[in-house]
Structure 1
Amino acid sequence: MIPPQALAIGGALAIAAGFLGGWTVRDWKADSDALAAVEKAERIRDKMQGKLDASAESYERGRAAEEPARLETRNTIREIYRDAPPVPVVCSIPDAAALVLENARQRANAAAAGQSGGPVPGPTSPAEE
């Protein structure tokens, strides 16, 4: 006859072995799930990177195509105004008009840089009739 202590010890060892085996298998499954999630994220990242690369390539092609025209325009403006005499103060534009032009220039530069140029200011008072 098997002593009861041996049966209790054997049963405890069997339960412990089952617990550790289950724990190990569950750990393997969790590792497998984590690996699958990482691989899926990597596939999505590669797909999105491909889209970004295509957009960047399209932008660079357009910019390269416009570069000669931009240089030509800049050089033409330099040629036109190279020997231009200075404008006398009497012929200069009013300060309000200069402010409007300066604001427009700042908005255009901001838009070209991809930033918000801010809202266009509205009328400050109703028009006089």
Structure 2
Amino acid sequence: MSNGLASLFWFVAILALIPLSLWLLKRTPIGGAGGAGVIRSIGTLPISTNQRIVTVEVGAGDERRWLVLGVTPSSITTLHTMDPQDDAVAAPPMGPPGLQTVGPAFAQVLAKLRRGKDGSP
């Protein structure tokens, strides 16, 4: 194998290892996979572009608690702590700040547009 081909081989091998390494890191405790199921989002209420109130459930079994948190870019403050409510439904997983959906889901809007104004398919 010539020197140029060997260099190309190692370059491609390293490029292939990057996604593999990220995939493995995502599934280890170092990458955040160790805390799965310990905390879940219950609801979010945007107050302004940089502030929101978030309710999360922490703990398991009899030790479960709901925390109402005030979230700003510079801090997270516990506003209230309460017992979990059994009739509440968990919110969908939150994305990065500012990307939470505010209206109907994209799929619903697209379905309405495809049906047309008269409602026919």
Could you tell me the TM-score, scaled by structure 2's length? Answer: 0.30
Give the number of the structure with larger relative contact order, counting CA–CA contacts within 8 Å between residues 6 or more apart: 2
TM-score, normalising length: structure 1: 0.29
More helix by share: 1
Write 1 or 2 for the structure with the bigger share of strand.
Answer: 2
Structure number, greater radius of gyration: 1
